[in-house]
Amino acid sequence: MKVFVLDTKICVGCYGCQLACKDEHVGNDWTPYAKPQPESGHFWMKVHETTHGQVPKVKLEYTPTACMHCDNAPCIEAGNGAVYKRPDGLVIIDPEKAKGNQALVDSCPYHAIYWNEELELPQKCTGCAHLVDQGQKPHCVDLCVLEALRFGDEEDFADEIANAEVLNPEFGTKPRFYYLNRPKLFIAGDVWDKEADEIINGAVVTLKDSDEKLVAETTTDHFGDFWFRTLSAGNYHVVVTAENYQTQSRDVQLDRSLNMGDFPMARM
């Protein structure tokens, strides 16, 4: 059974996979797996951009998505025989049987199915089944030069899958598209001497949880910045200390990545 694995840490958001899908499917008829994709409006592979944090402390996350080739796929149930799962796990909309079935578009909770007005067809990623049949990779995977996006046999990716996530597991569809290293939340800020109007390099910043238990400790860099990454949502307490300065502390309720902004330190 095949799986897709996307390493978020490696993906740079080059959109190569999205373009590869167009290159492979627009104007090309891969019957019995898919009729041609229209030139516009369809994104069988789509790169989403998410901004975490607030300016100037922001991180961009790129999340390529496609059909998740779910093992418990609501599109198959809704298709009344027009959608099927191949033995290798790829989910295919039969272009002959699905003609005119616009309701299929709404059956996918991941919004992976598009309506082709001209052909009157619901369409989506086929996993490039026509290439897989020849022992090749899907074209999006082939054109990901950084190998952030990979495809292959489930057993070959067992270690990665053990540490991976799926998108929206609450849908309960058992996706075969796995994501590695999805970003956790961060807290950032900058520390400076309010009299001299200069940043403070080497200030000690500690992060404690709501029970005052130490979570992490760091020092400000030569920009006066500090970062705590890979945090979970929750309540935290941030304490900044520096020699010859009065200590500062703040409480944080973290539900999204946060730039706490300035910590102007007063001299003792």
Site residues for ligand SF4 per CB under 6 A = 6, 11-17, 47, 62, 64, 67-70, 73-75, 91, 108, 110, 112-113, 124, 144, 146, 148-149, 173
Give the residue with the Cβ less far from ligand SF4, 60 or 233. 60
Give the residue with the Cβ less far from ligand SF4, 41 or 56. 41
Helices and strands in the chain: count of H runs, count of E runs: 5, 17
Q: Which of 28, 61, 32, 3 is nearest to 184 (CA)?
A: 61
Q: How far apart are CA 254 and CA 251, in angstroms?
A: 10
CA distance to 5, 6, 186, 229, per residue, from 157 (Å)? 8, 11, 29, 27
Minimum distance, C-beta of residue 16 to ligand SF4, in the bound complex (Å): 3
Q: Write out the two tokens for 17.
A: 């996979």
Q: How far apart are CA 165 and CA 143, in angstroms?
A: 23
CA 160 vs. chain centroid, Å, equals 15
Give the residue with the Cβ less far from ligand SF4, 38 or 175. 175
Give the residue with the Cβ less far from ligand SF4, 65 or 220. 65
Minimum distance, C-beta of residue 98 to ligand SF4, in the bound complex (Å): 11
Minimum distance, C-beta of residue 48 to ligand SF4, in the bound complex (Å): 10
Give the residue with the Cβ less far from ligand SF4, 91 or 242. 91
Minimum distance, C-beta of residue 66 to ligand SF4, in the bound complex (Å): 8
Minimum distance, C-beta of residue 133 to ligand SF4, in the bound complex (Å): 19
User: From edge to edge, which strands make up the β-sheet containing 149-153?
Assistant: 149-153, 2-7, 177-180
